[in-house]
Amino acid sequence: MDTSKYWAKSDKVTTLVIHNAALREALDKLYELGYIEKEMYELLKIACEYHDLGKINEMFQARMKNKKLHFDLEKEIPHNVLSLFFVDSERVNKINPEDKKNYVRMLFAILYHHYNSDLMRMVSSSKRQLENIFPQDAFPDIQDEIYSLPIGIEEEISEVIGLKDEKAVKMKGLLHKCDYAASGHYPIEFRNDFLLSGLEYLLMQWNNPANQEKQEIQSAEEFALSEQDKNENERATVDWNSLQYFCKEKQNQNIIVVAQTGMGKTEAGLLWIGNHKGFFVLPIRTAINAIYNRLRKDMLVNSDKIDEQVGILHSEQLEYYTKNIEGSDEDIYEYVKRGKQFSLPLNISTLDQLFDFIFQYPGYELKLATLSYSRIVIDEIQMYNAELLAYLIFGLEKIVKMGGKVAILTATLPPFVKELLEQHLNIPKENQEVFIDDKKVRHHIKVCDKKINAEDIVKLYLKNKEACKSNPHKGNKILVVCNKIKTAQKIFDDVKELIKAKYDKEEIHIFHSRFIKEDREKLEKEIIEFGQTGNKSEDVVEKGGIWITTSVVEASLDIDFDYLVTELQDLCSLLQRMGRCNRKGLKSVFESNCYIYLQIDSADLIGKTKRTGRRGKEKVYGFIDATLYELSKKAISEHEGILTESQKQEMLQKYFTTENIQNSYFMNSFKKTYKYVSEIRPYSYQKNEKKLREIVTETIIPSPVYEEKSTQILECVQKLKQADLSVIQRQKLRNQIMKYTVNVPYYHWKSYQDALNSKKTSGRKAKYYEPIQIGKYEKIKVMECNYDKKGYSPIEWTKKTEDNE
């Protein structure tokens, strides 16, 4: 059969033979990189050849020649249905005669490479009218290439749909991947031949700090080559630590690793990925951006191939690139596409960018098939709530069954989470390790059985300030961490008022998640700069000041304060917060440096506080698991004084057991979510219909910001109306508007809307602002609210429940 006579695309260039050759090239690349085994490669060669042969029909070919003609489902049978009749079962079965399902799997992969909910009916209908679909007078050369489908094939295909048949999922996913790469004219994968040499280059920099300028001229690749010519005495003297060596040695194994803050988990995770395709998954975008920048600046120095090596995957990817990456608009756009197509060998990602495949939307198989030959690092797993943990563990279970490798790297791993991982991932004990160094004692805790308050904070600050007069080497950097933004804002006001009585100018700052983007980025840089341990020579730098924050500092910021003053939330959160104090263990712990306030508002405890709604339905309020909180309170009350790294782990092992938390809100929520996701029917959801994170926020411009910046905002709005803007130009204009936005709880927005529409408000009537049109179907809302140095806060139109963040 001469497929060069038939069109695959309407561009008048791409024939079936050209398109199939492009698929084969993509497939060959996957095999060359070692990403697929021999049998799957041979099966996919056939699938790539057959997948579009159904386009050899009169109606499709007519549409390819005349763009004015459109697909009509009432008259035309989709080409993916017709392609089934070209599949030679004998040829397929010869590849592995013992596996009789390969033919059915291939039919499934080809049939569903374009989704329609009515495909099975179309198959049944097509079987009865083959002669009419492929008339001999119109297609004489293909008559010997058409095969009848077996009786009952529809039921057999239905049996391989879904996650239970991993081989079918992989075949369909890889067919998608090859097809998209061929149609989009982009490389299906770039080779990872740079990461290990880049890490060795980093090691070289650590060994030669005095010769930094000279070494920055040498790329990672050049360094790797130069090292080959050196003898053992000439090579680097500083080596990887025990954690990093363990991960490097276990590259081909699934592992669980617990290591205290500051031991180099990022390098360990990258060493475990090695020169393989990898995904480094973190819970927070700022942490992703930070690792990406470290890779670019410290490990891939002078590399001009960054756009073929590493990328970020999160909801603000395009915005981040347009702000931070140099290059033409076309280059940046191409870089973004490579990330979204999963072509880059190393990806730093959020959970939701990868694990939405668990909803089994049409085409989900591509993502899962890619992960099946990848190494996935999960960093700080304890940061995920019960629902996200259930999604994550369910997804990891499927990835491991498909052949992917998983590394859990964290500073804090509760035993009940570890047991869930062991249960679902079957990771052997020899691949689990804890790395603790008690030589450096970092924390001396003081337990305060009362609520956090400004008076105690100011008292500590002023006491230290006085001590600094006689001891100039004493630091006075105090980090305050509150469970709620509202609490942080009140503490900020109270601290400023108390200190103002004695000093006019003091370093008092506040940082949380409800600043507009522009201010948040500025504050992030300021707290990171303020919170450095020391200078490049590792000399401790003494500073004085107070930063009042929330949980946003727990994992995303590399900061090192002298003192921590915090509310108790739970042990995992507490240990993360403690990691922001005396991070490197270079400061004295003769006196208390961590002050933990045990009492919190009872309304914040979930699983304990319940109210009845208007319709009599019970509602659950709060955000801190009551069981975990009570266990944490008991644990920390027994450990006042010096707290070693081993003691921290012992606390977790003793209190956060499966037995202790089995009836908690957290565990009940985990079980409910895991059961729900395990019962999802394939293709019952459309892509983006379900989200891992059910976001209940509204993106708004605060009214004080809008009134100050309206001229700049409206100028950008006018420019966005220009029809000839490129995607990148449009994004840069959007950035100029979006930097004035903040995400607020939906009920804040709802309360404002109610105030606009109701006369029953606590004071004056709310002011209406016209939404900002930034796209054909996208508007940014402007909301009347408070916004000042403390960030956003709502106007109390009506009485509301409190929230965290």
Domains and their CATH numbers in the chain? 3-184 (1.10.3210), 195-229+238-435 (3.40.50.300), 443-643 (3.40.50.300), 697-793 (no CATH)
Q: CA 254 to CA 312: how far, in whole Å?
A: 23
Higher pLDDT, 511 or 612: 511
pLDDT score at 216: 42
Please tell me whether residue 280 adopts helix, strand or coil conformation: strand
Tell me the C-alpha to C-alpha distance, in Å, between residue 482 and each of 527, 553, 573: 16, 10, 11
Q: Alpha-carbon distance 546 to 567, whole Å?
A: 16
Q: Residue 214 has what pLDDT?
A: 37
- Please, are residues 378 and 392 in contact by the beta-carbon 8 Å criterion? yes
Return the bridge partners of 432, or none: 256
Q: In 10 A of CB 197, how many CB atoms? A: 20
For 187-212, the three-class secondary structure string (H helix, E strand, C coil) is CCCCCCCCHHHHHHHHHHHHHCHHHH
Q: DSSP per residue over 438-485, as a string?
A: TTS--EEEEEESS---HHHHHHHHHHHHHHHHH-TT--EEEEEE-SSH
For position 696, what pLDDT does the model report? 81
Give me the percent of the chain exceeding a pLDDT of 90: 70
Concatenated DSSP letters of 634-680:
HHHHT--EEE-HHHHHHHHHHHS-HHHHTTSHHHHHHHHHHHHHHTP
What is the pLDDT, as a whole number, of residue 427?
94
**123 touches 111 (CB < 8 A):** yes
Q: Which of 518, 522, 544 is nearest to 531 (CA)?
A: 544
Q: How far apart are CA 335 and CA 326, in angstroms?
A: 11
501-524: pLDDT as tens digits: 677 667 899 999 999 999 999 999
> What is the per-residue pLDDT across 716-739, written as a single tens digit (0 to 9) for each?
999 999 989 999 999 999 999 999
- Give pLDDT, residue 618: 58
Task: Report the C-alpha gap between 277 and 372 in whole angstroms.
Answer: 10
Calculate the CA 737 to chain-centre distance: 24
Residue 554 — pLDDT band, cuts 50, 70, 90?
confident
**Closest alpha carbon to 92 in 101, 104, 76, 103:** 103
Distances in whole angstroms, Cα of residue 278 to Cα of each of 251, 401, 708 = 11, 17, 45
Q: Report pLDDT digits (tens) over 154-209.
A: 999 999 999 999 999 999 999 999 999 999 999 999 999 999 989 988 888 887 76
- Per the document, the length of the chain is 805
Mean pLDDT, to the nearest integer, of 680-700? Answer: 85
**CA atoms of 313 and 796, how far apart (whole Å):** 37
**Arithmetic mean of pLDDT, 136-152:** 84
Enclosing H/E stretch for 767: none
Q: In what order do the strands lie in the sheet with 563-567?
A: 508-511, 544-549, 476-481, 563-567, 594-597, 443-448, 641-643
pLDDT for 537 equals 43
Kindly tell me the burial class for residue 764, based on how many C-beta atoms sit within 10 Å of its own C-beta (0-12, 13-18, 19 or more): exposed
Q: Mean pLDDT, to the nearest integer, of 454-478? A: 91
C-beta atoms surrounding 316 within 10 Å: 16
Note the pTM of the prediction, 2 decimals: 0.91
| pLDDT tops 60 at residue 213 | no
Pairing label, strands 742-745, 772-775: unpaired
Task: For residue 777, give every residue at least 6 positions away whose Cβ sits within 8 Å of its Cβ, in sequence order, or none.
Answer: none
If we measure between CA atoms, which residue out of 768, 781, 697 comes closest to residue 737? 781
For the record, the structure tokens of 579 come out as: 């990691």
Q: Which of 706, 690, 785, 797 is nearest to 751 (CA)?
A: 797
Residues 6+ apart with CB under 8 A from 208: 215
In the structure encoding, which two tokens stand for residue 20, read together?
């199939």
Give residue for tokens 């900002």: 772
Angle at 584 between CA 582 and CA 588, to 5 degrees: 50
Instruction: Confirm if 218 and 299 have CB atoms less than 8 A apart.
Output: no
- How many Å apart are CA 448 and CA 633, to the nearest integer? 11
